[in-house]
Structure 1
Amino acid sequence: MKKLLYFLFIGLISLSISCSKSDDEDELTKDGPFPISELSGNWEATKAQFSVSSTSVDIVEDGGTVTMSVQASGRFTLTLNPVDRDAYAVTGEIFWEEWQGSYYFAVAWDDEPNDWDTYGHTYDGTTLSINGGPDSGDYDFDNDGDLESCSIHFIFVRS
């Protein structure tokens, strides 16, 4: 009976080790459709739109500015300067999320380091467009100090 329990125990350990990593798990990488290091440099937004329901704000269209500085490692600083409030900056790191053979543009924001968001993107070497679905960004639409969850659409050109 002891031998049977021993083999059962070994079998359970082997099963748990072989099932500990699933093929469906997502992984973060710097190499995807293009290396993240290609984004290094300074970027200026031609569009910086935040939308929720029927409310939409484009900081650039309203006369403000949005700039982004990206390091070769993927670390970045995004500086938003709306016309109706003080400028502020957010930071994070850009990755590719590889999942089931596809790559998704991913951002790990420094205020939530153990989580990341994925975005649609286009990139042609000089223009980077980032589109997020619902809850992909936050913006204080009524300037009351409370951020509201929203979708984002940014278009950047190299500066």
Structure 2
Amino acid sequence: MKTFTYIFLTALISLTFSCNKDDDPEDVLTKDGRFPISELAGTWEATKAQFSVNTVSVDVVEDGGTASMSVQSNGRFTMTLDPVNRAAYTVSGEMFWEEWQNTFYFAITWDDYPDDWDTYGETFDGTTLTLNGGADTGEYDFDNDGDMEACSVHFIFVRS
């Protein structure tokens, strides 16, 4: 009887792992969603570049700094942030759409984290691009100690 139980449990575990199937369809990454990513090609200036975590919020532009972004037609971009009283820095990545259950989500893969992407709420009217990210969709050095802290982001860019 012990042999039968052992064989039965082994078969059951093997069957469980071999038949384990995710009911959700795989994520589909595309450049064509609610609008083609290529429509973002060009140079953008931020009117808002806000980073927030808990009760702390910093808007680089409101504080007198600048933020700009250059986007290629393939979705690759470079963003330069120049806060007041600290060195400017550049981040880069790639923009695309994540299609999931017949809905498109604006997504960014940051070059510092190439195997992952974050999704953002977005609006785009041809001349203004707004991006809103949830928790941990951005990083900012709030206390200027050289360590970036995870945060949420809110950007408003106008085409320049």
Normalised-by-shorter TM-score class:
0.7 to 0.9
Name stretches of at least 5 consecutive residues in structure 1 with no aligned partner: 1-15
Aligned-residue Cα RMSD (Å) equals 1.7
Please name the residue that 2:11 is paired with.
Answer: none
Aligned residues: 144
1:133 maps to which residue? 134
* C-alpha distance in 2 between matches for 1:84 and 1:134: 26
Residue 115 of structure 1: SS of its match in structure 2?
coil
Moved over 4 A (4+): 18-23
Mapped partners of 1:92, 1:137: distance in 2:
12
Quote how far apart the aligned CAs of 1:25 are.
1.2
Structure 2 match to 1:77: 78
| Aligned amino acid, residue 80 of structure 2 | T
Q: Unaligned 5+ residue runs, structure 2? A: 1-17
* 1:119 match: 120
Cα displacement (A) at 1:54:
0.8
Task: Tell me the equivalent position of 2:13.
Answer: none
**Residues 73-93 of structure 1: CA deviation (Å, up to 9, x unaligned):** 000000000012111000100
Using the TM superposition, give the Cα deviation of residue 103 of structure 1 relative to its aligned residue in structure 2, in angstroms.
0.3
Supply the distance in 1 between the matched residues of 2:40 and 2:96 (Cα, whole angstroms): 11
- Write the deviation string for residues 20-74 of structure 1: whole angstroms up to 9, x where unpaired: 8865211110000000000000000000000011100000000000000000000
Equivalent pairs: percent with the same residue?
71
> TM-score, normalization: structure 1?
0.86
Kindly state the Cα deviation for residue 136 of structure 1 after the two structures are TM-superposed.
0.9
**Matches of 1:43 and 1:22, distance apart in 2:** 40
What TM-score comes out, normalization by structure 2 length? 0.85
What is the aligned partner in structure 1 of residue 43 from structure 2? 42
